[in-house]
């Protein structure tokens, strides 16, 4: 299944705020679809339906395909620790997600495009793979081209991130960020119950 490229506000009306997908808000308050007005948020939801929606939040927010998300689930299970937290840390350490968190892009898809076009460096080397896993002490920078640096400066002003999470340190004068640690659960902007996502995949 390919990455979703349809209407984004339709997704946020169904799943709630997804900062990585879009920052726009719909004027409509009902869920999408023919029967959206007749469905109450707390009614007609099975346990499977609740878990499915949490999984969909993760998938659409980070712009993943089903197979990509399942690979992250398997990797999180393999590592020692709390599986749900490890899953979120793996997703937050993706290069496109780090660039979005820093404010280089409006959305994760926008940040992914910057990475794919070769505008972002890791430890002074250009990395054009959006799913690249950043590590502690990695230095995320911008390619040394005036046009690209001015573009990123304007993006930073437009996106104006108020406060960076504790696992990142950013030097705006150099356009460089350092990964200090893995992300803390409380720093995530996405409202999500990751345990339900793990439960959704528990039978696979």
What is the secondary structure of 102-119 as a DSSP string? HTSSSSHHHHHHHHHTT-
Contact 159, 180 (CB under 8 A): no
Full-model pTM: 0.87
CATH 1.10.1050.10 maps onto the chain at 8-90+189-200
Sheet containing 125-126: order of strands: 125-126, 120-122, 139-142, 176-179, 168-171
Contact 132, 95 (CB under 8 A): yes
Percentage above 70 pLDDT, the chain: 93
Yes or no: is domain 94-181 CATH 3.10.290.10?
A: yes
Q: Can you give the pLDDT at residue 123?
A: 94
CATH 3.10.290.10 maps onto the chain at 94-181
**pLDDT tens, residue by residue, 123-141:** 999 999 999 999 999 999 9
Better-predicted residue by pLDDT, 77 or 26: 77
Q: Among the listed ranges 44-48, 143-147, 157-161, which one has the minimum average pLDDT value?
A: 157-161
Q: Among the listed ranges 34-38, 124-128, 152-156, which one has the minimum average pLDDT value?
A: 34-38
Q: How confident is the model at residue 90 (pLDDT cuts 50, 70, 90)?
A: very high
The CATH homologous superfamily to which domain 8-90+189-200 belongs is: Ribosomal protein S4/S9, N-terminal domain (1.10.1050.10)
């Amino acid at each position: 299944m390919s990455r979703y490229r349809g209407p984004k506000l339709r997704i946020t009306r169904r799943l709630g705020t997804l900062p990585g997908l879009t920052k726009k808000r719909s004027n409509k308050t009902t869920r999408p679809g023919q029967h959206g007005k007749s469905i109450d948020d707390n009614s007609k939801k099975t346990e499977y339906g609740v878990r499915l929606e949490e999984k969909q939040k993760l998938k659409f927010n980070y712009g993943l395909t089903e197979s990509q998300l399942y690979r992250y689930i398997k990797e999180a299970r393999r590592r020692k620790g709390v599986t749900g937290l490890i899953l979120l840390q793996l997703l937050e350490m993706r290069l496109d997600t780090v660039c979005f968190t820093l404010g280089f892009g409006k959305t994760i898809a926008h940040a992914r495009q910057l990475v794919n076009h070769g505008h972002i460096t890791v430890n002074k080397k250009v990395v054009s793979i959006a799913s690249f896993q950043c590590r502690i002490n990695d230095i995320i920078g911008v390619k040394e081209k005036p046009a690209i640096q001015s573009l990123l400066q304007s993006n930073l002003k437009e996106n104006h991130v108020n406060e960076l999470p504790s696992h990142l340190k950013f030097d705006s004068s150099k356009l460089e960020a350092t990964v200090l640690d893995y992300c803390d659960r409380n720093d995530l902007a996405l409202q999500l119950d990751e345990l339900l996502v793990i439960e959704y995949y528990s039978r696979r």
